[in-house]
Chain A
C-alpha cells in the first residue's frame, strides 16, 4: 500500500475564492489521480496528474476550473478555482500501485472536505 496525506483535511471558503489541496505520498508513484465526491454521491474522476506534463482531464472537468500540478513523483496539488456552493464536496487523491509494471490497484488519501458558502 502507500501512506498518503492530504492538506487541508477540511475548509470552509467563500464563493469566488480558490483553494489549493495538497497530496503527499511516502514513496514515488507513477500515477496519481484526483476524485470528487459530491454530498451523498459516489466518486468521480476529475483528472490524472501526470509528472512533468499537463494533467489529463475527464469529460466535464476543465483545467481553468481545476488546475493540477505534479512537480515530482511524490506530490501533487489540485486547485478549485472561483468556487461556488456547487463545488462543496470531498476531494480525494489516489495513487496507483502495481504488483508488476502497470498500476493495478489504487489507494486513497484521507480526503479534503470543502464547504463553499
Chain B
C-alpha cells in the first residue's frame, strides 16, 4: 500500500529566507508521480510542483524546487525567497500510474515578516 509521511507538523520561515519541507513515501511501483499541493485558508488545493519518478532531474517552478531521492524515497520541497503569500498548509502526495492520490498529513508553513 502507498503511504506518504510528512514529519513536520509546522514550520516557520522569515520573509525572503529559504525553507525546506520534508516528505518520505513508500510504494512498490517503479512508475509514479509525486506532488506538492498548497492549501491556503481559502481551502483551494493548488498544485505547486510535480515530479515524475522516471526523471532523475529535480523539478523546479520559479521559487519552488524539489530534492527527489528515489532510492531513499524522499521528496522534499524547497521554497526560496519566501513571501507572505506562501503561508499555507502544504501537502505531499503520491500517485501511482493513472491512479488515485495519497496524501501526507500536511505541514503548516508560517512566514514571518
Among B37, B43, B50, B102, point to the contact of A110 (Cβ < 8 A): B43
In the complex, the chain A residue whose C-beta lies closest to that of B105 is A42
Residues B47 and A43 in contact, CB atoms below 8 Å apart: no
| A90 contacts chain B at the CB level, 8 A cutoff | yes
Bound form: Cα–Cα A63–B46 in Å: 29
Would you give the shortest CB distance from A1 to chain B, in whole angstroms?
Answer: 8
Bound form: Cα–Cα A63–B104 in Å: 26
How many pairs, one residue from A and one from B, have CB atoms within 8 Å of each other in the complex? 55
A41: chain B residues within 8 A (beta carbon): 105
Given the known interface contacts A45-B100, A45-B101, the answer about A108 and B95 at a Cβ–Cβ threshold of 8 Å is: no
Bound form: Cα–Cα A107–B105 in Å: 19
| A105 contacts chain B at the CB level, 8 A cutoff | yes
Residues A102 and B98 in contact, CB atoms below 8 Å apart: yes
- Interface members, chain A 22-59 (any B CB < 8 Å): 31, 33, 35, 37, 41-45, 48, 58
Residues A104 and B100 in contact, CB atoms below 8 Å apart: no
Residues B47 and A105 in contact, CB atoms below 8 Å apart: yes
Residues A110 and B44 in contact, CB atoms below 8 Å apart: yes
| A106 contacts chain B at the CB level, 8 A cutoff | yes
| B103 contacts chain A at the CB level, 8 A cutoff | yes
Residues A102 and B97 in contact, CB atoms below 8 Å apart: yes
Most buried by B among A33, A92, A106: A106
How would residues 46 to 87 of chain B score, 1 for a CB under 8 Å from any chain A CB and 0 otherwise? Answer: 110010100000000000000000000000000000000000
Residues B52 and A104 in contact, CB atoms below 8 Å apart: yes
In the complex, the chain A residue whose C-beta lies closest to that of B47 is A107
Spell out A's residues near B (CB within 8 Å): 1, 31, 33, 35, 37, 41-45, 48, 58, 90, 92, 94, 96, 102-108, 110-111, 113
Query: What are 25 A-B residue pairs whose CB atoms fall within 8 Å in the complex?
Result: A1-B47, A35-B101, A37-B43, A41-B105, A42-B103, A42-B104, A42-B106, A43-B45, A43-B91, A43-B101, A44-B103, A45-B102, A94-B45, A94-B101, A102-B97, A104-B52, A104-B95, A104-B97, A105-B35, A105-B50, A106-B47, A106-B95, A106-B101, A108-B45, A111-B43
Spell out B's residues near A (CB within 8 Å): 33, 35, 37, 42-47, 50, 52, 91, 95, 97-98, 100-106
